[in-house]
Amino acid sequence: MGMLPDSNADWQKIAQNRPYYGVLSEAAYQDSALSDEQRAAFFESGQRYVNMVLDQCTRFFGPDWRAGKALDFGCGVGRLALPLSRRFTEVTGLDVAPAMLSEARFLAEQAGVTNIRWRLGDDALTAIAQEHFDFMLSFIVFQHIPEVRGQAILKRLLQHLAPGGMGVFHFKYAQVSPRHPAATFLSHRIPGGRMLINALRGKPLQEPHMQMNAYNLNRLVQAFQAAGAREIHTRLEDHGGHWGVEMYIRRGY
């Protein structure tokens, strides 16, 4: 019997072939190489998102937050890390795909950005051992990690949030209009199911799959409270029937 899909291995293949689409799954970004106009639109969307998130942080928690060290978990090619570098003294971009980090590093060098460190991630968060951050951001990342693994990673991440630090984390929590629920079950839960689905669709048997995993909100709230959060603010989203929630937290002093 075959093994269940490895989300890290899938992500590394996606990063090698379609890095921008892997970060933002829109038709305009499917090509491995983007035009200057497409790349500008891609990063402008990241700037708008970062501006919105930080405005919400000020709204929820007040203006007295420290713009020191920031972490972008699942940074991809730097769509959010580059805008964060304009608002924070130092940014760390963490990702499991070397190809993503290579592209991000190249783009940062082109832009003359020198206050971002690009680090290869693992489940133990080895690359940020002993570090603490004033701000953490993770958007449309955890949904690509199976929940049991993702919950464990989240708990480790929160150990690196400085007292008084803020975090903004996005999770999928429900799928309300699945086009192919049986295919999702086969791909995520049944050994060999991935290859069967690819064969039925006329695709290469080993083509990677972008997992969309839902998280239990009760367990997320427990993780945040256990880490010292005393309030949670939320924004709800709908990505094509994948219902998601952004959870804004601030750790107590």
pTM recorded for the entire structure: 0.82
Q: What is the pLDDT of residues 178-227, one digit of tens each?
A: 656 555 555 555 555 555 554 555 555 445 566 889 999 999 999 999 99
Query: Cβ distance 155 to 223 under 8 Å?
Result: yes
Q: What is the pLDDT of residues 145-172, one digit of tens each?
A: 999 999 999 999 999 999 999 999 999 9
Q: What is the pLDDT of residues 87-127, one digit of tens each?
A: 999 999 999 999 999 999 999 999 999 999 999 999 999 99
Domain boundaries defined on the chain? 7-251
Alpha-carbon torsion 34, 38, 43, 49, what sign? negative
List C-alpha distances in Å: 66 to 5, 137, 179, 234. Answer: 40, 15, 43, 21
pLDDT at 205: 45
Beta strands across the sheet bearing 116-120: 116-120, 90-95, 69-73, 133-138, 161-175, 242-251, 229-239
Query: Cβ distance 138 to 171 under 8 Å?
Result: no
Domain range 7-251, its CATH number among 3.40.50.150, 3.30.2010.10, 3.40.50.300, 3.30.70.20: 3.40.50.150
Assign residue 192 a region: left if phi > 0, alpha if psi is -120 to 50, beta otherwise? Answer: left
pLDDT at 184: 58
pLDDT at 36: 81
Q: What is the pLDDT of residues 235-250, one digit of tens each?
A: 999 988 889 999 999 9
Assigned token pair, 189: 């839960």
- Mean pLDDT of all residues in 28-51: 83
d(CA 158, CA 165): 10
